[in-house]
Amino acid sequence: MPANRFNGFTDYGAGIGLRIPHYRHILERKPTVEWFEIISENYMIDGGRPLTILDRILEQYRVVQHGVSMYFGSAEPLNRDHLRRLKALVRRTGTPWLSDHLCWGSVDGRYTHDLLPMPYTFEAASLTAEKIRQVQDFVEVPVVVENVSSYAEFHMSEMTEWEFLNEVVEQADCGILLDVNNIYVSSQNHEFDPFTYVNAVPAERVAQIHIAGHSKYEKYILDTHDHPVIDPVWALYARAIERCGRTATLLEWDDKIPSFEEVHAEALKATRYLPAPEYSFLPASERMAAEAVR
Amino acid sequence: MSQLLEFQRRLSSAVMQPLSRGDRMRRSARNQASMEREAEALVKPNSRLSSLERLEIYNQQYWFRILSCFAEDFPGLRAVVGRARFERLMRAYLAECPSRSFTLRNLGAQLEAWLRRNPEWIRAAERLALDMVRLEWAHIEAFDSACEPALTPAELERGLAGGRLNLQPYIRLLELRYAVDDLLIEVHNREHSEDTSSNAAQDRLTRSRVRSYAKPLPGAVYLAVHRSDDSVYYKRLEPVAYQILEAIGAGRSLREALDALLAHNEGRGTDMISSVQQWFANWAELGWFCRPEPLLLARTSRYA
């Protein structure tokens, strides 16, 4: 969405993930990039090179934090050490919002380090929303939750994934990081129409969008972040932008990472769909008219 | 117990269950319960995959991910014990010591203690393997531990006069029986790292390449694993220098550390004082000293 309370009243365009193979290129050539997304956990440390690099990046670029292990949906309480380190990093980066996944991954203190899908139950929605609220209160920046890709559905689910997402964000009063690639992957694995999902999301809560590539296997699709974005995912993205307006968009490319230029060029394809910032406050029909005049 | 907690315990137990020899999901759990029945109880099938096959994706992803991270953290141990034994060793370790941290960085935190309890995994080269594990863990800790402001020359002079100093939190002192530092440098020159937020780990295991390395000769090595300009270095120390740093790291006063050394090196007082002065000048230049803290924990590591 354009500037709103879920994205810290910012108006970011297309960004890319900050990844180790690109450090040298970025620091030496200082390319123009709207913003970088970092994996929070890689910088929740006490010292050393990652923080030095991050501080140099922060001197010249806007950075948004994305987490992978808060596990809002785990039944166990939040990890206080994790929260303290996360808050310290939030203060360091000045991230306007903070994202992590709508998933679980730990139980009884044991971590799977995976983004495991939730059973879509009302009990799980309430517990997850309560934990999101606790994190938001503690870190004092807007928290947004990302839909994960999944390879399994559970018998105990009482609703669809998008109904669960809506239930959680309403109860938590938080924003959404809408990953349209994840929606596509899950739709293929679970045989639903991905547009039904995109159309069901409360557009006013979408703070950020993820796009990415994936890998197709014989019987399922795996969310590998190691390919360019495919056309059906761009189509979902176009629909999401149509509904949400100009929204901070991040290309994820985490494996078999090509050159910085290639990754950045792929991310900039999103600008074909993104309205210019100055018209973003207008409804879709008026925005298109304004763009045509321009 | 909530339904959610019960569900998560059952599913994580299945996901974290060790894979079979062919990296497939085992057909029965440790308690001999049928995994097929457990999968059917938890997971819906679809038109292409059975419940077990869908659960297996997560089981494989879990193991591929943590094995890949562990192998990336301990390439030196792999070079010492060989690829086949390393594969079995890490699966046994991770099955017994699953991650208890939000960060994969701490995956190997229990490895040295586990190997001491289970020496059969490194029987052919026990001391060498333990030295390597201690060095690799020290490297991980030196890489991202805190760095306090180094003492200025004036502060250092006052610290020396007052008798107390503090070592930088990132410094690890190791007393080794093999020159594993040389071997690990050779191994590291062929490694790389990366970060990711995908939940896929399908093909990461296939990337590692294992080469053969010459086994280091036995011989005592005293090492400071430290950091300079954000790179980790291994600095060899004279045994006496090691003892001084170890004493400082343990919170002993400078006078206590030096008196004990001089007592054990009678007749070498003048030579010793000259060496000690040179060492301190070098350590100060490297920024190894910072202000003392009230509660100082020893950060040394000696072989048992």
Distance (Å, rounded) from C-alpha A252 to C-alpha A180?
A: 11
| Structural domain span for residue A53 | 5-293
Q: Are residues B185 and B118 in the same domain?
A: yes
Q: In angstroms, what separates the C-alpha of A223 from chain B's closest C-alpha?
A: 6
Interface-testing mutation among A101, A114, A157, A188, with chain B (most B C-beta atoms within 10 A)? A114
Interface-testing mutation among B102, B103, B227, with chain A (most A C-beta atoms within 10 A)? B102
Q: Are residues B41 and B166 in the same domain?
A: no
Residue with tokens 């991050």: A54
Residue B298: pLDDT over 80: no
Q: In angstroms, what separates the C-alpha of A200 from chain B's closest C-alpha?
A: 23
Is B230 inside a domain boundary? yes
Pairing of strands B166-167, B172-178: unpaired
pLDDT by residue (tens digit) across B11-68?
A: 999 999 999 999 999 999 888 889 999 999 999 999 999 999 999 999 999 999 999 9
Q: In residues, how long is chain A? A: 294
Q: Are residues B79 and B171 in the same domain?
A: yes
Q: Are residues B83 and B48 in the same domain?
A: no
Task: Give residue B256's pLDDT.
Answer: 83
The answer to ipTM > 0.90 is: yes
Q: In angstroms, what separates the C-alpha of A285 from chain B's closest C-alpha?
A: 36
Last residue of a domain, one of B73, B99, B125: B73
Q: Are residues B10 and B116 in the same domain?
A: no
- Whether B47 sits inside 8 A of A257 (CB atoms) is no
Contacts of B97 in chain A (CB under 8 A): none
Is B200 inside a domain boundary? no
Q: Which residue of B has its CA nearest to A76?
A: B5
Last residue of a domain, one of B51, B73, B95: B73
Per-residue pLDDT of chain A (294 residues; tens, 9 = 90+): 778 899 999 999 999 999 999 999 999 999 999 999 999 999 999 999 999 999 999 999 999 999 999 999 999 999 999 999 999 999 999 999 999 999 999 999 999 999 999 999 999 999 999 999 999 999 999 999 999 999 999 999 999 999 999 999 999 999 999 999 999 999 999 999 999 999 999 999 999 999 999 999 999 999 999 999 999 999 999 999 999 999 999 999 999 999 999 999 999 999 999 998 865 555 555 555 555 544
Is B195 inside a domain boundary? no
The closest CB to that of B102, out of A17, A41, A224, belongs to A41
Q: Are residues B89 and B153 in the same domain?
A: yes
Task: Give residue B200's pLDDT.
Answer: 58
Q: Are residues B58 and B92 in the same domain?
A: no
Q: Are residues B256 and B153 in the same domain?
A: yes
Q: What is the number of structural domains in chain B?
A: 2
In sequence order, the β-bridge partners of residue B301 are: B174
Q: What is the number of structural domains in chain A?
A: 1
Which CATH number does the domain housing residue A249 bear?
Answer: 3.20.20.150
A-B interface: how many C-beta pairs under 8 angstroms? 171
Q: Are residues B47 and B160 in the same domain?
A: no
Q: What is the DSSP string of B265-291?
A: TTT-HHHHHHHHHHHHHHHHHTT-EE-
Q: Are residues B291 and B220 in the same domain?
A: yes
Q: Are residues B115 and B160 in the same domain?
A: yes
Residue B204: pLDDT over 70: no
Is B201 inside a domain boundary? no
- Contact, A148 vs A182, CB < 8 A? yes
Q: Are residues B228 and B151 in the same domain?
A: yes
How many C-beta atoms lie closer than 10 Å to residue A262's C-beta? 12
Is the alpha carbon torsion for A276, A147, A234, A20 positive or negative? positive
Last residue of a domain, one of B23, B49, B73: B73
Distance (Å, rounded) from C-alpha B242 to C-alpha B257?
A: 11
Distance (Å, rounded) from C-alpha A24 to C-alpha A22?
A: 6
| Structural domain span for residue B152 | 74-190+206-302
C-beta contacts of A284-289 below 8 A and 24+ residues apart:
A284/A242, A284/A245, A287/A245
B105 lies within 8 A of chain A by CB: yes
Please give the structure tokens belonging to residue A88: 């310290």
